[in-house]
Amino acid sequence: MRGLDLCSLILSAGLLVSAQDLQEPPKKAQEFQELQKKVSEFTLPNGLHFIVLERHESPVVSFHTRVNVGSIQDPAGETGLAHMFEHLAFKGTETIGTRSWPEEKKALDAAEEAYDRMDAEADKGIKADQMRVDMLRSQFRMAADSAQRLAASGEYLRILAENGVLNFTSLAATASTESSYSLPSNRAELWFLMESQRLLHPAFREFYGERDVVLEEYRQRVESNPPARLLAELLSAAFKVHPYRNPSGGWPSDIPNLRRTQAQAFFERYYVPGNITVAIVGDVTAVDAKRLAERYFGPMAAKPMPPVETTREPPQNGPKTVILEMPGQPVTLVGYKRPSQYDKDDIPLDLIQILLSQGRTGMLYNELVQEKRLALQAQAVATNPDGRFPNLFVFLLVPAPGHTVEETQRALEDLLQRFKSTALDPLLLARAKAQGRANLMRGMTSNRDLAGRLAFHSASYGDWRKLFTTLDDLNRVSPAEVQRAANRYFVATGRTTVYTVLPGQSDAPPPPKPPERKTGGPQ
């Protein structure tokens, strides 16, 4: 049910669903079914998979490329490597973005050789000659500057801009690396040319300059951002061995040591045709899309699929608590272990998020913010950081002035205990289902959103039709299934709590917590 984008929806007030909205209007349901009939797909002999949805209402086509690789595939000691491709993806190719590729390649290779010499000396540890390290570092920088002067790295994006590109995005996440943009339909062939060249002949230019950018991003987005820092602490505490514990942008101690040669090896391993899904939605025919795909992407050689991540998180056998000393407004994050998106409890857990935290109708907001006025914010996110593997159901609590993090934590625990022990009102569940359906349909209006959802469901579930069967999956969930999921996963043994206190207050013991009723824990 990840296609509902529930995590983003809870950050703003959701639609209020009234009793008359519990069923979709027939016209909406009919349009939904008609969309499915317009989808076709094909796979090239090399394994690259395409999904095409024809929509000829306007002369625009949206393209979405999804590669099933993200930070969970970062090698040990090389965290942040997958994220580098968000920065490198559109620096150009061997023919686009260079003033002279033969000369630029020679300069790039010379820079790598200089880096090798610098590393070799530095790796001697206490026996290293620091003056020689500094000299070799200067040689590397000179070689890198020579390569930089031969690059025209803005050319790739300039070409797209001159041809009317819209909604350009590039993102490297926990389990995927994606890019998307739209073009006028009479420029559709340009996408096939540019994207195929990007995947066939990447240059990895400006790697070390972008590496510095990634490191600065970590400082700004995590170290200087209290909510992001809190989330990073939650993930690293909740997961002992699974790579979910690593920041998606990498650890700051790893990032400065990433190498261009490592990026090349990473690309060769994971950017193989069978690991790539492309969705195309808009004013294009499936026949033309297949013809152009065969022409431009057919030359990509078939390669073995990369291994699936196998590191398994061991069971959590008790609650974990982390206290951070930070100035400013105190905040609490509470994460409960939950199964992956492939588990039967996935949709019941997403419905729990809607029941507890969808807009101003959620139980969390009503009770903690409006009625008791204990919190300024009280939200829930059903899946974090990603649904591909067992992950966390996360609660965010921000106490109101005059109240403490301990008060909001106790209020949350009390609410969850009542949620688990009280039979769910079928009308409330019906409204949550209606909200889920509304979320789904609202996210399928634009070509761009549809392309992203089709690519996600195809790559994640092996079938884009999962996007359209979600409505049926929602409708089948019973109140008993929702309550069973709550009792199974909202338990102390699977809980990790991270909260902040003012500097110098971490030694103060928290007030005692009420006893919890024992229930079954996550598997």
- In the prediction, which pLDDT does 28 show? 63
Return the amino acid letter for 498: V
- In the prediction, which pLDDT does 509 show? 56
Q: How do strand 60-67 and strand 39-43 relate by DSSP bridges?
A: unpaired
- In the prediction, which pLDDT does 266 show? 97
SS3 content of the chain, % helix, strand, coil (to 5): 50, 15, 35
Cα 516 to chain center, whole Å?
33
Neighbours of 367 (CB within 10 A): 19
Q: Name the DSSP letter for residue 351.
A: H
- In the prediction, which pLDDT does 27 show? 55
DSSP-derived 3-state class of residue 44: coil
Q: Which fold has domain 2-31+315-501?
A: Cytochrome Bc1 Complex; Chain A, domain 1 (3.30.830)
- In the prediction, which pLDDT does 215 show? 93
DSSP track, 204-268: -TTHHHHHHHHHHHHIIIIIT-HHHHHHHHHHHHH-SSSGGGS-TT--TTTGGG--HHHHHHHHH
CA distance 204 to 146: 15
- In the prediction, which pLDDT does 405 show? 94
Rg (CA), the chain: 25
Q: How do strand 49-54 and strand 177-184 relate by DSSP bridges?
A: unpaired
Contact criterion met (CB below 8 Å) for 500 and 405: yes
378 strand-pairing partners: 397
Name the nearest CA neighbour of 2 among 441, 392, 440, 442. 440
Chain region(s) in the chain for CATH 3.30.830.10: 2-31+315-501, 43-98+151-297
CA distance 353 to 379: 9
Element (H, E) at 379: strand 375-384
- In the prediction, which pLDDT does 485 show? 98
E-assigned strand segments in 153-215: 166-172, 177-184
- For the entire predicted model, the pTM comes to 0.89
384 strand-pairing partners: 392
Domain 43-98+151-297, what architecture?
2-Layer Sandwich (3.30)
Low-confidence ranges of the chain (pLDDT < 50): 1-26, 519-523
The token pair at 282 is 């808009």
pLDDT tens digits for range 131-157: 999 999 999 999 999 999 999 989 999
CA distance 492 to 487: 11
Neighbours of 7 (CB within 10 A): 19
Name the nearest CA neighbour of 323 among 504, 75, 82, 518. 504
Return the amino acid letter for 489: Y
